[in-house]
Amino acid sequence: MAAITLCMDHVLSELFTITHPSWFGALCTWKLLSWYFCLLVGVFTSGTWEEKSDEISFADFKFSVTHHYLVQESTDKEGKDEVPEDVIPQSMQDLLCMNNDFPPRAHCLVRWYGLREFVVIAPAANSDAVLSESKCNLLLSSVSIALGNTGCQVPLFVQIHHKWRRMYVGECQGPGVRTDFEMVHLRKVPNQYTHLSGLLDIFKSKIGCPLTPLPPVNIAIRFTYVLQDWQQYFWPQQPPDIDALVGGEVGGLEFGKLPFGACEDPISELHLATTWPHLTEGIIVDNDVYSDLDPMQAPHWSVRVRKADNPQCLLGDFVTEFFKICRRKESTDEILGRSTFEEEGREIADITHALSKLTEPAPVPIHKLSVSNMVHTAKKKIRKHRGVEESPLNNDVLNTILLFLFPDAASEKPLDGTSSTDNSNPPLESEEYNLYNQFKSAPSDSLTYKLALCLCMINFYHGGLKGVAHLWQEFVLEMRFRWENNFLIPGLASGPPDLRCCLLHQKLQMLNCCIERKKARDEGRKTSPSDNVTNTYSGDAGKSGDQLGPDNLRETDKDKGEVGKSWDSWSDSEEEFFECLSDTEELKGNGQESGKKGGPKEMASLKPEGRLHQHGKLTLLHNGEPLYIPVTQEPAPMTEDLLEEQSEVLAKLGTSAEGAHLRARMQSACLLSDMESFKAANPGCFLEDFVRWYSPRDYIEEEVVDEKGNMILKGELSARMKIPSNMWVEAWETAKPIPARRQRRLFDDTREAEKVLHYLAVQKPADLARHLLPCVIHAAVLKVKEEESLENISSVKKIIKQIISHSSKVLHFPNPEDKKLEEIIHQITNVEAIIARARSLKAKFGTEKCEQEEEKEDLERFVSCLLEQPEVLVVGAGRGHAGRIIHKLFVNAQRAATMTPAEEELKRMGPPEEKRQNLAADFPPPAGRELILRTAVPRPAPYSRALPQRMYSVLTKEDFRLAGAFSSDTSFF
């Protein structure tokens, strides 16, 4: 056996010195410098624990070696005072320290032995285990020899048996002393070990002290009581009233709110630990017949709460269910059945009415919106195809949602569009502005934001995916209805699309821009019938709002990719329509058909058109006429996908000279339009006149002396304007004097609107959910912030900041990963659960019922600590305000369990003995009994040094454990 042990020690030392020299150095230097330093109270929980791990192979068996230690603050005395030679190791002194008994959160060995530093050797794989006794003895022998050779004073443990049993044996060595760590783990506890007297007997027999009488044994006891029956009235969360969501008393505004709270009590158990920290043998009785351990008389009470595992939370479920739509692949038509547009096409498919369609007058636009107008085509077709009772959304729900999304539909006055758009964004400094800007969602008062909330609620409460598809189809039809009848879309800021928002919001803003342009053009045609010469695309030829004819159709080359195309063909590359011949002759009379042949002198005789106002004191350089600012076309608004598409096209042109020239032409359409407007407003002007207005920095003026000796200002174009084949010069030579109202539109609202409507129509529910998910997350964060402000939980505020930071990084990507989105939703759900726990605890402890302000503040502070700390000390134990509430909770639970009527409470006023028994019955049997026995006795001989002895015992319903640390003198034995 000795030979085997030496061989194993040789193998272990070889592994430490050759394979892992750092571990060998650690074993040689693991000596506590602050040997005299006693740990402060609670440091095991509040302090920082660190660990270092590595793997070694021992007899073809892999072990993980982990060094656990408490990070301690350095002191000035370290390294200055020499450690006495006869001092026992710090780990042995920790066995007798009573400042950190029963830590609420620590390694099991820390709780059992009170150690601040130790090393654990365990099988590397979870499935591996050291089961045989011979292997255990072999490992312990090697550990003992390794500790002796290295002089390491840190306890070293070996994990044996299966890992779930948490069985450890170990050893600690010092100068002439040794401590053996032993353990017993049983499923069924012997009766004599269920109380203090039996445990004292086994402790005394184990240490085998030869002295008479024995030194006193210090005792620490903790009983833990579990409260599970909270009584239903202690849970404040009310279930959502689904019927009231569309009821008359609540109205459609309820669709703009997200639910919040847990559907079940997020606090499942309350654990009350009653502790007697300093007892001595002989002053207390605890045996199988009688016990002095009354929980109401315990000097220390501490409480911890056990949280429900993954409680069902309304807000988290809402967002999670909406996120699931992102993984669906069905289209809207596949979900709802046959397309409504196919059904409508069948009704008008009769070819005999084709000619009558051309001769019939155009329908009069509807100037008044109503719910019945909005719930039109799709609803009728769905009824025909599936029947009324099978529609995903009933009329009440659909009408309520549409009125919430389009409040202008309830107006009795004709809509002029001025009140339907929201022209105000949140202030730049506001938190709301920063949120939608960071999340790339939409403002909280916008139509897109409201649509996201409605779809989220429809998906959860009214029809699921079919309800979402139905509402989206109605929404798309409403968008087309508003486009065709010149009704602006409410809830959208005026102006070009906001690129800081989600793409769907940009598309709706683009459609609103189209409606504004179309409406302004139609109203201008009605008020000025003589000026209705308008250029438009052939796609407008059949629209009710544009009654145009192909009398004067002029086609040009449509090949836009031709590099050598002239500016003239470039600007007129689309088909143009003129409404009457007289206007065409007027154009010819004005010289606009002369092209490049008409010079400035010929242009000077033209009639000025399209003037906005005079430009200050500026005059034309050659004829001295006042310079007028022309009416110009607004630049075409663009969404981010159009900008990306345009950038790709320009990038594909390459870096050659021809590609650069073509790229310049494509980008100068707006410049050419402004030049034509300027020429029409200022007949006889030159390029210098245009530059003075359009780009003043490119016209350089300086004082010179003329022939008569007078100082005059003389100007000329800048150097970049004089470059040969300059884009500005070529464009000026090509530009004709055409006012903005007669130019080809830079922004074709008809084509762009049809593109937007087509984009909306082909969106699948999954695509729609992807577009609106940032808005839903935005709304969820706002809801969490609103609810947190009512509770004022510091830890929640930090988590919300982390959610905002994480979301702003993830949601700015075009296609964020599902895993990252799930992390954000999980964080939001966790915050919701924390707030629900806070409200649950406040309701259970009755913080709102406190009449005294001081008691209310103490209870709120106590509840806040329960949420953030693993265990909270109850001030005053059972006699304090919080202690009385906890006692009452247990009494109510016991009364409900035993069906004891309230009248039985009068019996508590009896004799002291009877009263004490009644108080003991207020609590259930302890769910856990923990005892720590300590003493210092000489072992193994009477003349040996007195060394620390410790035994920890825990008894629960499931198992019984004894963990002993027994020290002996190896010098005098």
Tens of pLDDT, residue by residue over 175-217, are 889 999 999 999 888 888 888 999 999 998 888 877 777 888 9
Q: And the tokens for 521?
A: 């053009």
Please compute the mean of the pLDDT values over residues 624-645 and round it to a whole number: 84
User: What are the φ and ψ backbone dihedral angles of 715, each rounded to 5 degrees?
Assistant: -120, 160
Residue 267 within any structural domain of the chain? no
The domain in which residue 662 lies consists of 612-750
% the chain with pLDDT above 70: 72
% the chain with pLDDT above 90: 25
Confidence bin at 38 (pLDDT 50/70/90):
low
CA angle 839-844-849, nearest 5°?
90
854-900, pLDDT tens digit by residue? 888 888 889 888 888 889 999 999 898 899 999 988 888 888 877 65
Q: Is the pLDDT of residue 456 over 60?
A: yes
CB 451 within 8 A of CB 405: yes
Q: Is the pLDDT of residue 471 over 80?
A: yes
Peptide bond before residue 626 is cis, with ω within 30 degrees of 0: no
Round to whole Å and give the CA distance between 954 and 221: 10
Q: Of 291-295, 455-459, 694-698, 911-915, which gets the smallest average pLDDT?
A: 911-915
Please compute the mean of the pLDDT values over residues 750-757 and round it to a whole number: 91
Residue 956 within any structural domain of the chain? yes
CB 628 within 8 A of CB 681: yes
Output 203 or 715, whichever has higher pLDDT: 203
Confidence bin at 595 (pLDDT 50/70/90):
very low
Q: Model's pTM, two decimal places? A: 0.72
What's residue 236's pLDDT? 57
Pairing of strands 49-57, 62-70: antiparallel
Q: How many CA atoms lie within 13 A of 60 on its CB side?
A: 0
Q: Is the pLDDT of residue 917 over 80?
A: no
Round to whole Å and give the CA distance between 422 and 495: 10
Question: Which of 40-44, 215-219, 271-275 has the highest average model confidence (pLDDT)?
Answer: 271-275
Q: Is the pLDDT of residue 446 over 50?
A: yes
Please compute the mean of the pLDDT values over residues 814-818 and round it to a whole number: 85
Residues in contact with 506: Cβ distance below 8 Å, sequence separation at least 6, in sequence order:
497, 498, 499, 639, 640
Confidence bin at 247 (pLDDT 50/70/90):
very low
Residue 842 within any structural domain of the chain? no
Round to whole Å and give the CA distance between 638 and 668: 16
Residue 901 within any structural domain of the chain? no
Round to whole Å and give the CA distance between 905 and 376: 69
Pairing of strands 156-160, 117-123: parallel
Q: Is the pLDDT of residue 237 over 90?
A: no
- What value does the CA radius of gyration of the chain take, rounded to a whole number of Å? 43
Exposed, middle or buried, 695 (CB in 10 Å: 0-12/13-18/19+)?
Answer: middle
CB 69 within 8 A of CB 117: yes
Residue 886 DSSP symbol: H
Instruction: Name the average pLDDT for the chain.
Output: 76
The length of the chain, given as a count of residues: 973
Confidence bin at 558 (pLDDT 50/70/90):
very low
Q: Which of 700, 729, 750 is the last residue of a domain?
A: 750
Q: Is the pLDDT of residue 646 over 60?
A: yes
Please compute the mean of the pLDDT values over residues 362-390 and round it to a whole number: 46
Q: Which of 720, 750, 780 is the last residue of a domain?
A: 750
What's residue 601's pLDDT? 55
323-353, pLDDT tens digit by residue? 999 988 888 888 887 554 444 444 444 444 5
Residue 130 DSSP symbol: B
What DSSP string runs through 165-218?
Answer: G-EEEEEEEETTEEEEEEEEEESS--GGGSSHHHHHHHHHHHHT---SSPPPPE
Q: How far is CA 460 from CA 255, 325, 772, in A?
A: 12, 11, 15
Round to whole Å and give the CA distance between 118 and 285: 35
Q: Which of 730, 750, 770 is the last residue of a domain?
A: 750
What's residue 537's pLDDT? 30
Residue 655 within any structural domain of the chain? yes
Round to whole Å and give the CA distance between 813 and 820: 11
Residue 190 within any structural domain of the chain? yes
CB 969 within 8 A of CB 944: yes
Please compute the mean of the pLDDT values over residues 577-605 and round it to a whole number: 45
Output 353 or 962, whichever has higher pLDDT: 962
Number of domains in the chain: 2
Residue 705 within any structural domain of the chain? yes
**b or e along 130-166 (b: 16 or more beta carbons within 10 Å of the residue's beta carbon)?**
beeeeebebbbbbbbbbbeebebbbbbbbbbbeeeeb
Confidence bin at 667 (pLDDT 50/70/90):
low
Residue 661 within any structural domain of the chain? yes
Q: Is the pLDDT of residue 570 over 90?
A: no
Please compute the mean of the pLDDT values over residues 620-629 and round it to a whole number: 86
